[in-house]
Structure 1
Amino acid sequence: MESRHLKVLHIAPTPFFSDRGCHIRILSIARALALTNAQNILCTYHHGHDRDGITIHRATAVPGYTETAAGPQKGKLRADLRLLALSFRIARQQKPDIIHAHLHEGLLIGWLVRVLLAWRRIPLVVDIQGGLVGELQEHGFFARARWKAQILKPALRLLEYGLLRLPRHIFCSSANSEALCRDHYHVSARRLTLLDDRVDVKTYTNCRHPVKLPFPDHARIVVYSGSLLPIKGIENLKMTVLELARRRDDICFLLVGYPTEDLEVFRRTEQLLGRIHLEGRVSFDQLPRYLLAADVAVDPKVSESGEGSGKLLHYMAAGLPVATFPTAHNQLLLGEEPSGRSSDPHYLADKIEKLLDDETERRRIGERNRRKAGEYSLNSAGQLILSIYGQIIRSGVIRQQDSNTNGEVQ
């Protein structure tokens, strides 16, 4: 499809851009579309920082809502209402060819905008990064709701079922989320496309200056990058660190991400100040310098929501072997055979130790990962998205022509 004048309105109900995985995926989708000459317009919350190459419109500020970490937050509902008003105004002014919603909230907002501008027949697609109910479960939402969870969980499942019937097409971030839509929510396979996370490998091959870290010269360095929240498997990571610290004294951990408060208490309480370096929040553009300073990467997440793990591709692009749990998504991406238990920190510790002790194997896996990461290019993602857009827009034109023809006959 010719995309020179294709105008895409993205709706992102999140403080874009805040250097975390969800935002990195949204950014990569926009960059992939830009490579096809599409024009990206993005509506988002009032906070976050801008990125080159994307026209960003921000909703008016919600007093007291300044949090950029993932998860339910006070003020988020008001932010969504303001984002709805903004998205409607921008859609009315800019006349987009298609609305590309992100996340479940973005889907609802995008659908409302489409309804309010019904005469324009703007196609709606959505990119989902996991299941709504599963994600809330991982964030501890139902645990906090206590007895209300018995009512809320089935109600939210019904809501998610309804939401997934609103868009013309659904892009899924992983095979897990695709299976969730297809098998649990009975979405037709024709309306589903697996859109894996993408990475720009050139940012790693062109990086010549890894950061200097406060570890001894002989230290073996394990890196984790991403949100430092329970939903990301941080409790598993803590247990893995403790197990490896008990076994030997030459393994150190570089943790890149935020919030750091809980892990700061952990490393002080466990007397691991010299073994764990908390870098805190790092600009996405600087991430390669940190990953390239490590020997092995780790991803301790076990997802119940069907969400993929975009950080794996960045680890792979850096040429790092990765210690992670043997989920279907991880095995598919890393090309590994099923092994181990799905949530045992001792399994992660054993895997890290084995990789660090075998330099030949470590280099072999790292090179394999780097080559495989090259298969997940921004350009191929852009062409895939564009092909779906084309099918949707053409089918809409045909239906409109048929409607006009029928009207003339009558």
Structure 2
Amino acid sequence: MTAPRSLRILMVAPQPFFRPRGTPFSVLHRIRALASLGHRIDLITYPFGQDVQIDGVRIVRSRRVPFVRDVRIGPSFEKLLLDLPLMWETWRACRAGRYELIHSHEEAAFFCAPLARMYGIPHVYDMHSSLPQQLDNFRSFNLGVFRRAFAALERHVLTTCDGVITICQDLADIATRTAPDKPHAMIENTADDSVVFASDLRTPQELTALPPGRRIILYTGTFEPYQGLDLLLDAFATVCAHDEDAHLVLVGGRPEQVEAKRERAAALGLTGRVTFVGQVHPERIPAFIQAAEIIVSPRSSGTNTPLKIYGYLRSGRPIVATDLPTHTQTLDRSVAELVPATADGLAAGMLRLLRDPEYGRRLAEAAQRLSEAKYSHEAYMRRVADFYDSVLRRLELRTRTMTAPAG
């Protein structure tokens, strides 16, 4: 179902957009879906990132903050500073009176909620994480006073917004428990990146110095502590002792993070058995997946489903993932090798797939069937359209009720 009319939407994303990591990917696919429905979007975002050309979308960057040249993932003092000019730019846009709906992401909802009420603009909250949980996951501002403040702000946003989008079951439970009367949709980050970014057709050997003839185990993503890369490196040391052709490829990470993991790999005696690619453009990821025999997601904490899992499901490659809610909200043992979140567990899972390719093929085929049935790009677009349709219908009903003559 498509939305009944075109809206002028003010979207606010407190991230460097675009950059190839979780939330910016989600923001990208949201604006692409809304633009394809005929809506016009002004996206207010940080002063960092790559411009992406999408018809019907205008990117507005907030002012730079002196001495802040970039922002890392998760809560930080730098992020707090960047949110101040972002809030100022949002206020200026609301005051101009051109918008029919505000769509906020993450902590931008904290100032979008009062601005929406002040200017009488409907507000949709895109909940990518529980912000009090982020303080614990990233060990930033992780004090009781901050957790309580974030919990109160999150509760206020959920109870005052006109609709909420969540990306996984854990967040859906929080949203529906806190505000059961609000329009809600769980829209997993299942949109296909290849629809936006053309695939680089070169082989990984052409793209980087991957050794030929190796059995590639692939990790893609950030190098944040919750991703479990120390566990993965420890596990791979065990794999190397049993399979001389196994080779681990790690795609992602900031330069200083890559160097730290390179040193850890060397200390484990893995020099020559691990390739660190660093951050790459999304168009290069399919080539690495095509070269891989196994894809691994070793997350050690958190509850949000990694966005990349949905791409892995459609990849045709078997997945090894830790048996934690961050994965099991989407994966089960019929589509992935789920293992304890330990070095021994990860090693056992990778070795099982290396030793039994037929088992891996069955898992990969089942994963593709699940993706086609439940997590297709078309299903994603339909959920976005249906959610906006439900919000607009509710707002129109509320308007008719308020303007109807008494009696």
TM-score past 0.5 threshold:
yes
Distance across 2 between alignment mates of 1:365 and 1:322: 8
Aligned residue for 2:104, secondary structure, equals strand
Q: State whether structure 2 residue 156 is matched by structure 1 residue 197.
A: no
Equivalent of 1:219 in 206, 214, 236: 214
Task: Give the SS at the match of 2:305.
Answer: coil
Q: Do the aligned partners of residues 211 and 189 (structure 1) sit closer, same or farther apart at CA in structure 2, a change above 3 Å counting?
A: farther
Give the deviation of 1:209 after TM superposition. Answer: 3.6
* 1:122-148 superposed Cα distances (whole Å, 9 cap, x missing partner): 211111122112111010125xx5xxx
2:183 pairs with 1:181: no
- Cα contact 1:222–1:251 (8 A) shared by 2: yes
Q: For residue 50 of structure 1, give the secondary structure of its aligned residue in structure 2.
A: coil
**Offset, 1:166:** 2.6
Aligned counterpart, 1:78:
81
8 Å contact from structure 1 (residues 201, 373) kept in 2: no
Deviations 1:138-168 (A, max 9, x none): 10125xx5xxx24333343333322322312
The residue that corresponds to 2:42 in the other structure is 41
2:365 maps to amino acid:
E
Q: Which amino acid aligns with 2:281?
A: S
Deviation at 1:193, TM superposition (A): 1.7
CA RMSD, aligned part only? 2.6
Aligned to 1:373: 371
Q: Count residues in correspondence.
A: 396
The amino acid of 1:378's aligned partner reads H
**Partners of 1:28 and 1:378 within 8 A in 2:** no
Matches within 5 A, 1:296-311: 296-304=294-302, 306-311=303-308
Change (3 A) 1:287 1:340: closer
1:258 is matched with which residue? 253
Matched, 1:124 2:123: yes
1:74 offset after TM fit, Å?
Answer: 3.1
Q: Where does residue 238 of structure 1 map in the other structure? A: 233
Secondary structure (helix, strand or coil) at the match of 2:11 reads strand
Instruction: Give me the whole-angstrom Cα distance separating, in 1, the residues matched to 2:42 and 2:138.
Output: 30
Q: Pick from 312, 323, 332: which aligns with 2:309?
A: 312
* Cα distance in 1, alignment partners of residues 200 and 367 from structure 2: 17
**TM-score, length of structure 1 as denominator length:** 0.87
TM-score, length of structure 2 as denominator length: 0.88
- The alpha carbon displacement at 1:215 in A equals 4.3
- 2:163 is matched with 169
CA contact (8 A) 1:215 1:252 kept: no
Q: Is the 8 A contact 1:128 1:171 kept in 2?
A: yes
Moved more, 129-138 or 206-215: 206-215
Secondary structure of 1:71's aligned partner: coil
Q: Which runs of 5+ in 1 are unaligned?
A: none
Residue 269 of structure 2: aligned partner: 271
Greater relative CO, 1 or 2 (CA 8 Å, sep 6+):
1
Partner of 1:135: 134
Aligned mates of 1:34, 1:70 — CA distance in 2: 27
Q: CA deviation at 1:22?
A: 1.5
- CA distance in 1 between counterparts of 2:280 and 2:71 reads 14
CA distance in 2, matches of 1:352, 1:254: 14
Alignment of 1:86-165 (within 5 A): 86-93=89-96, 95-103=98-106, 105-118=107-120, 122-141=121-140, 149-165=143-159
Percent of aligned positions that are identical:
23
Q: Structure 1 residues 182, 302: closer, same or farther in 2, change over 3 A? A: farther
Aligned to 1:164, what secondary structure does the other structure show?
helix
Question: Does 1:355 find its partner at 2:347?
Answer: no
Question: What secondary structure sits across from 2:116 in the alignment?
Answer: helix
Q: Distance in 2 between matches of 1:58 and 1:117?
A: 22
SS in 2 for 1:292: helix
Q: Is this contact kept in 1: 2:164–2:175, CA < 8 A?
A: no
Residues 1:324 and 2:283 are matched in the alignment: no
Q: Mark the CA change 1:334 to 1:402 in structure 2 (over 3 Å): closer, same or farther.
A: closer
DSSP 3-state at the match of 1:42: strand
Classify 1:151/1:40 alpha carbon distance in 2 versus 1 (closer, same or farther; 3 Å).
closer
- Contact 2:199-2:287 within 8 A present in 1 as well: no
Question: Residue deviations 1:285-342, cap 9 Å, x none?
Answer: 22212221211111111333x3111111122222111100123453353342699664
